[in-house]
Amino acid sequence: MPVKRIKEVIIMKESIHKYFQIGTIQWMSHPPNQYELLDSIKTIASDDFFDAIEITQIKEDGQREKVKKLLEQSHMKICYGAQPRLLSTGLNPNDLEEDGRLKAEAALIEAVDEAEYLGARGIAFLSGKWDEKGRKQAYSQLLKTTRAVCEYAAKKNMQVNLEVFDYDMDKAALIGPAPYAARFAADMRMVCNNFGLLVDLSHFPTTYETSKFVIQTLRPYITHLHLGNAVVKPGAEAYGDMHPRFGFSDSANDTMELVDFFRVLKEEGFFNAEKPYVLSMEVKPWGEEDADIILANTKRVINRAWALLPD
């Protein structure tokens, strides 16, 4: 009798791009002291792995106009990070001195305008440093700044995202850890519905928290996602909030940590094909490393972690 051949049925996993707009933080992927801005944006925009790009302040008018034209051609989601505006100047949105707070507020409002011009529908920023004695007052100052920026952004139908950072390791920012970030977000949502939180896998080790704890704690408020790596071993190379590549010596995150991150996001309902969240890689070359190889490294880790994610 003839042997019946049974055809193998291979079930293909759905693409990560169905559920997330995969992006990268331009100034991290191509550090400005090593890579020319227009070349960097053209490289990223020409790579169809990326659905989104995060950019920051462009001080020169002519260059800003050229960037705008490149981005208009890309069909990418444009996001704007105002973090460098604060970190590079020392401006503090929770400054206990009102003059200092107002300067930070003005810088963030300028960021909203620049973001709008470049095609972004929101901005992200971070809280400033704090000290234990003035924590309650700093919290009130941050609420004041954030509300002013949110109210300004709302007039343009734009979003404002606060990124959750470490509180005692590197940036020593007022917000997080996650429970404190949740409290702040709840207070903000009472008055501004265009406010949300940006959480970053690379920051979870720096706040001594896990993906499950952070995502579950902040679930109602998360509007934007980052992924990356960190070294939290004291004295080790790239210690702190340095965003080294996956596979870096003594680092905390690699493929399996990213699998866990994806698993928690799936369980908590973040896989949204109709309105996908932006999920950007925040990874930068360390020392003399080549930025484009580090980009490829990160894409490989994302692809492998996604492939290992249980259906």
Run means of pLDDT, 10 residues per run, the chain, 311 residues: 49 88 98 95 97 98 98 98 96 97 98 98 96 91 98 98 94 94 98 98 97 98 98 96 97 98 98 97 96 97 97 87
Residue 284: φ, ψ to 5°: -135, 155
Dihedral sign computed on CA atoms, order 219, 259, 44, 206: positive
Q: What is the pTM of this model?
A: 0.93
Per-residue pLDDT, 237: 97
The per-residue pLDDT for 133 is 84
pLDDT at residue 201, rounded to an integer? 98
d(CA 232, CA 252): 7
- In whole angstroms, what is the distance from residue 194 CA to residue 158 CA? 7
Cα distance between residue 258 and residue 304, in whole Å = 9
Q: Return the pLDDT at 121.
A: 97
Q: What pLDDT sits at residue 12?
A: 65
Q: What pLDDT, on the 0 to 100 scale, is given for residue 176?
A: 84
What's residue 1's pLDDT?
47
pLDDT at 278: 98
pLDDT at res. 10: 54
Q: How far apart are CA 275 and CA 296, in angstroms?
A: 26
CA separation for the pair 238, 247 (Å, rounded)? 12
Q: How many whole angstroms separate alpha carbon 76 and alpha carbon 74?
A: 5
For 200, list phi and psi in degrees, rounded to 5: -130, 120
Q: Are 170 and 206 in contact (CB under 8 A)?
A: yes
